[in-house]
Chain A
Amino acid sequence: DVKVTQSSRYLVKRTGEKVFLECVQDMDHENMFWYRQDPGLGLRLIYFSYDVKMKEKGDIPEGYSVSREKKERFSLILESASTNQTSMYLCATRFPLAGGWQETQYFGPGTRLLVL
């Protein structure tokens, strides 16, 4: 069974704080992703990583950074949290489906972040 865990289910932080969201997967997957999900806007890609120490910007990277020092762990960092970063944050890995050649995404449980 694929397992993706996120460090917190709920988090409350103050404006200006540095926030770390951690994601850990136990399936040796190379590709990992961070999304945020907001009502009416759907899932938006913040950053993704296809290997250790490799990262690529997604659609909305501003105000965020990431770190991938080990294959199983992908961290999202809010350098200085702002109220417009209040959202549901979802980590995902990319994994092959049965049959081999197609891949899909498997999501962690999510972290609901409130910035006051």
Chain B
Amino acid sequence: QKEVEQNSGPLSVPEGAIASLNCTYSDRGSQSFFWYRQYSGKSPELIMSIYSNGDKEDGRFTAQLNKASQYVSLLIRDSQPSDSATYLCAVNTGNQFYFGTGTSLTVIP
């Protein structure tokens, strides 16, 4: 079983809609959770971090964490074409970081 699982997509949403990205993880001892955005040919950049159950909002982005269900999600409100990218879910467990394979998002103008 992989440490972090994501639906690879592709996910397509119209401009202005809400994009919902999901991630599950296997280690209940995981403490920190992250979402990275990666444009084609570029390296991942951190967009959200969350450590406590519940929601964390930053501009158009909301991260949601449910430790009981071992589930992390990212909502992107008012999606823009510039949000088109691959989104990586990452989990910090002990000394290591584990990454999902990413969900490809396309926002259609």
Cross-interface CB contact of A40 among B31, B34, B44, B101, cutoff 8 Å: B101
Cβ of A116 within 8 Å of any chain B Cβ, yes or no, is: no
Interface residues of B in 36-95 (CB under 8 A from A): 41-46, 49, 51, 88, 90, 92, 95
Shortest Cβ gap from B21 to chain A (Å): 15
Structural contact, A42 and B100, CB atoms closer than 8 A: yes
> Of the 9-residue stretches A13-21, A65-73, A101-109, which lies at the interface with chain B?
A101-109
Decide: B92 and A109 in contact? CB cutoff 8 A: no
Residue from A106, A107, A112 whose CB has the most chain B CB atoms within 10 Å = A107
Q: How far is the CB of A76 from chain B (nearest CB, A)?
A: 15
Using known A-B contacts A109-B43, A110-B43, determine if residue A41 contacts B90 with beta carbons closer than 8 Å. no
Q: Known contacts A41-B101, A42-B100, A45-B96: does B46 contact A104 (CB below 8 Å)?
A: yes
Of B32, B43, B90, B100, which contacts A90 at CB under 8 A?
B43
Residues of A within 8 Å of B96, CB to CB, are 45
Shortest Cβ gap from A114 to chain B (Å)? 14
User: Are the C-beta atoms of B49 and A104 separated by less than 8 Å?
Assistant: yes
A54 at the binding interface (Cβ < 8 Å): no
- Name B96's closest neighbour in chain A (CB-CB): A45
**Does B44 lie within 8 Å of A107, measured CB to CB?**
yes
Contact of A60 with B by CB under 8 A: no
Q: How would residues 83 to 116 of chain A score, 1 for a CB under 8 Å from any chain B CB and 0 otherwise? A: 0000000100010010000111111111010000
Give the docked Cα–Cα distance between A108 and B88 (Å): 16
Determine if A97 and B100 form an interchain contact, defined as CB atoms under 8 angstroms apart. no
Indicate if the CB atoms of A42 and B43 lie closer than 8 Å: no
Interface members, chain A 30-84 (any B CB < 8 Å): 33, 40-43, 45, 50
State whether A43 touches B43 (Cβ < 8 A): no
Residues of B within 8 A of A106 (CB): 46
Residues of B within 8 A of A103 (CB): 32, 92
- Which residues of A are found within 8 Å of B25, using beta-carbon distances? none
A104 partner residues in chain B, CB cutoff 8 A: 32, 34, 46, 49, 90, 92, 97
> Can you list 5 contacts pairing A with B, beta carbon distance less than 8 Å?
A40-B101, A105-B97, A107-B44, A108-B43, A109-B42
